[in-house]
């Protein structure tokens, strides 16, 4: 237990040492730890200082600016009393040896104290260099003066662990205004040189202006000559180009005229061909229209004839049906009136006879209706269609503005052609239907004339009267 307490105390002690002794130096300051262990220098690093056994000292590594002036006039090599004002940049050496030397003089010193300690040393070195140089050398070559001061001061600074960064002279002054007189002389020399330079410059300017004017005039003359030559060449070239253009234009006009004639010829030929083709096409269309008209009339005539024939057949059949029913009704009536088997037989025989007679008469009337109405219908339809056929045949001619007839012929010939076209249509109908239209018309006209001349009287005896006569004969 005591051991643990002792260990705890040691640990706490070590932690306190670490907390109290921990140090960290900035980059522009050197921490110097000395005492219990070997001396150490920390720059921008951290370390541990054992409290009460080691000490911590600080040494600034910043660059210092020292204003170095001669406190009074110092005679130079020419025994001219001169004052110098300069600025020097110094710092602590960065090597361990330089830091060790600097720590002997400037350890824990402030920046102002270090500057005061170094200032008199630098002033003494500057006084020494002033006494070795002529005034004109110092004034005209300040860099050489600064370099000589640095060469003289650096060994003394190194003994204190310091480095000189730069040495810059601010100004020189003297008691007798020698520097000002040197300036006046220099000013005079400068003015003289400036006047001479100005005169030479004016002369050079005049010469240069004259030369420039001459060159400008020569250039202008040369330019005008070149312009005239170019204009002459341009005029010649333009005349040549115009001549070539006129030749080309004349050739183009001739070619255009030839081409125009060729185009006109081609257009006329094409137009004539088109007119011929249009006329041929029109003739073909008219021929097709005539064919269509023929077919239409043929179909209409056939349909009308079929319809009328069918109507006649239906009427004959209806008449036959009516007569048949009347005969059946009479037969039933006679059956009811007759007495006995003989009466019934006679009635049945009579009914059969009447039925046969009615059927025969119906067949005759049907045939007669077919003969009568068929020819009449056909003739009527043909006669009604002939004007329409003639109209359709002549209609294409009504759409023609002008008809030019070549060879023999005149308007009578044209009318004859129309009549021939109509005749061809009727002959086509006759050939398609198998009907001799001419014969039908002639037959109809002949029959009509014969009927009007003879006018025969036709006596039609009804079936009822015939049946009465037969009935009386049977009673007898």
What angle do the packed helices 178-337 and 463-475 form, to 10 degrees? 20
Residue 47 to residue 31: CA distance in whole angstroms: 9
- In degrees rounded to 5, what are phi and psi of residue 393? -70, -40
pLDDT at 464: 39
Residue 157 to residue 146: CA distance in whole angstroms: 15
Query: What are 476's two structure tokens?
Result: 């007898």
pLDDT at 358: 78
Residue 375 to residue 362: CA distance in whole angstroms: 19
What angle do the packed helices 340-398 and 463-475 form, to 10 degrees? 160
Kindly state the DSSP code that residue 80 receives in the 8-state scheme.
-
Residue ranges in the chain modelled with pLDDT below 70: 1, 183-191, 194-195, 337-347, 349, 362-386, 388-476
Go through the domains of the chain in sequence order and give each one's CATH number.
2-60 (no CATH), 64-176 (3.30.479.30)
pLDDT at 265: 82
Given a contact cutoff of 8 angstroms between Cβ atoms, the answer to whether 158 and 176 are in contact is no
pLDDT at 471: 39
Residue 325 to residue 235: CA distance in whole angstroms: 127
Given a contact cutoff of 8 angstroms between Cβ atoms, the answer to whether 69 and 123 are in contact is yes
Sheet holding 29-35, edge to edge: 40-43, 29-35, 54-60
Neighbours of 273 (CB within 10 A): 10
At 144-165, the pLDDT tens digits run: 998 999 999 999 999 889 999 8
pLDDT at 89: 92
Residue 305 to residue 311: CA distance in whole angstroms: 10
Confidence (pTM) = 0.36
End-to-end CA distance of the chain: 184
Residue 421 to residue 427: CA distance in whole angstroms: 10
pLDDT at 460: 34
pLDDT at 379: 61
pLDDT at 88: 92
């Amino acid at each position: 237990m005591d051991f643990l307490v002792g260990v705890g105390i040691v640990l706490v002690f070590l932690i306190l040492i670490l907390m109290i002794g921990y140090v960290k130096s900035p980059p522009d300051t050197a921490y110097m730890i000395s005492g219990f262990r070997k001396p150490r220098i920390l720059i921008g690093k951290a370390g541990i200082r054992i409290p009460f056994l080691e000490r911590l000292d600080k040494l600034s590594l910043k660059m210092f600016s020292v204003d170095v002036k001669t406190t009074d006039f110092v005679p130079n090599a020419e025994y001219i009393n001169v004052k110098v004002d300069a600025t020097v940049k110094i710092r602590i050496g960065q090597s361990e040896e330089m830091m060790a030397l600097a720590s002997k003089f400037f350890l824990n010193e402030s920046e102002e104290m270090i500057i005061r300690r170094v200032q008199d040393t630098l002033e003494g070195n500057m006084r020494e260099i002033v006494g070795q140089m002529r005034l004109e050398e110092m004034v005209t070559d300040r860099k050489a003066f600064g370099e000589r001061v640095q060469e003289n001061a650096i060994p003394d600074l190194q003994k204190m662990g310091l480095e000189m960064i730069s040495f810059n002279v601010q100004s020189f002054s003297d008691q007798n205004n020698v520097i000002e007189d040197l300036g006046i002389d220099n000013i005079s020399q400068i003015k003289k040189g400036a006047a001479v330079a100005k005169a030479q410059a004016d002369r050079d300017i005049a010469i240069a202006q004259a030369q420039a004017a001459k060159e400008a005039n020569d250039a202008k003359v040369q330019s005008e000559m070149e312009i005239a030559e170019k204009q002459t060449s341009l005029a010649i070239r333009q005349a040549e180009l115009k001549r070539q253009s006129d030749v080309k234009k004349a050739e183009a006009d001739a070619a255009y005229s030839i081409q125009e004639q060729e185009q006109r010829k081609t257009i006329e030929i094409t137009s004539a061909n088109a007119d011929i083709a249009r006329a041929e096409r029109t003739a073909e269309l008219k021929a097709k229209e005539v064919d269509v008209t023929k077919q239409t009339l043929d179909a209409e005539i056939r349909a009308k004839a079929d319809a009328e024939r069918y109507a006649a057949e239906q009427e004959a059949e209806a008449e036959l049906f009516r007569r048949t029913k009347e005969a059946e009704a009479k037969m039933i009536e006679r059956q009811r009136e007759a007495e006995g088997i003989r009466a019934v037989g006679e009635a049945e025989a009579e009914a059969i006879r009447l039925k046969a007679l009615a059927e025969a008469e119906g067949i005759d009337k049907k045939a007669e209706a077919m003969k009568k109405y068929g020819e009449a219908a056909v003739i009527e339809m043909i006669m009604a269609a002939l004007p329409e056929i003639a109209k359709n045949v002549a209609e294409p001619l009504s759409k023609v503005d002008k008809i030019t007839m070549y060879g023999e012929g005149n308007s009578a010939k044209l009318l004859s052609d129309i009549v021939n076209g109509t005749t061809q249509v009727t002959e086509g109908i006759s050939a398609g239907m198998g009907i001799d239209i001419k014969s039908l018309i002639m037959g109809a006209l002949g029959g009509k004339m014969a009927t009007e001349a003879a006018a025969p009287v036709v006596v039609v005896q009804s079936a009822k009267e015939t049946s009465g006569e037969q009935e009386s004969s049977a009673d007898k």
